[in-house]
Amino acid sequence: MSPLKGKNAIITGGGRGLGKATALAFAKEGINVAITGRNEERLKQTVEELTALGVKATYAVFDVVDKPAVHTEIAKVIDFLGGIDILVNNAGISEFGKFVDMPADRWEEILLTNVMGVYNVTREVLPHLIQQNEGDIFNVASTAGLNGNPTTSAYSASKFAVIGLSESLMKEVRKNNIRVCTLTPSTIASDMSIELGLTDGNPDHILQPEDFAELLVATLKLPRRAMLKTASLWTTNPV
């Protein structure tokens, strides 16, 4: 089992939902955490919860599409943490609609956020991991990136791309002892899923953000010789 206490992590989209649950789970393991997002109030509140668990925690406000901001802010949080070991590319947006009805600019926004956002943040973190010859990257895709469905064309296209990016990167950086894991969860009772009407979030039947976070912690605890390439977390019985 790999020790986690004292490791440093960055989680994008860390102010709520899957990102927040993961940040809290990491902090309970003694991992120092930097979270990013666009809503400063949510980020501040989450950082207060993290520091209460006894770890170093900070936040950065930026849009993952904004390359100059990503460059500046990622450097700042890495400096604050004193290094970086773990990256969770969780930030993303979603909208569903018929192919001919969704405006082109919204299509483009979903692709830029979900795909280029992963690229932009990883591009800033990866050199540090390569230099220290070790690290972990989690890229959050979706079951929508495994199979397309009516009205999911934009979201599915973006998540198919994340899977391709992630699996290619995994094969590229294994030699640097960097583990890249592609996550393809089904519907989780996150803020986004509930707002989109995908689930009522019933904890008796539907995956919760804490379940997702538990998977990431367990993956990090694997011996360094072992790497989880992909993981698809499903609700057992959605009823």
pLDDT per residue as tens digits for the range 114-167: 999 999 999 999 999 999 999 999 999 998 889 999 999 999 999 999 999 999
Strand order in 86-89's β-sheet?
Answer: 57-61, 32-37, 8-12, 86-89, 135-140, 178-183, 230-231
Kindly report the pTM of this predicted structure.
0.95
The pLDDT value recorded for residue 113 is 97
* pLDDT at site 189: 75
For residue 155, indicate whether it is catalytic: yes
The pLDDT of residue 190 is 67
pLDDT given at position 225: 97
Which entry of 59, 155, 160, 212 is annotated as an active-site residue? 155
pLDDT of residue 213: 97
DSSP, residue by residue, 11-27: EETTTSHHHHHHHHHHH
Q: Name 87's bridge partners.
A: 10, 137
Reading the block at residue 221, the tokens are: 């605890």
Q: Using an 8 Å Cβ cutoff, are 110 and 94 in contact?
A: yes
Fold for the domain defined by 8-233: Rossmann fold (3.40.50)
Q: For the chain, list residues with pLDDT below 50.
A: none
Q: Is the dihedral of CA 195, 198, 203, 207 positive or negative?
A: negative
Joined together, the tokens standing for residue 80 give 């604050």
Only one residue has tokens 């999911």, namely 152
pLDDT of residue 205: 72
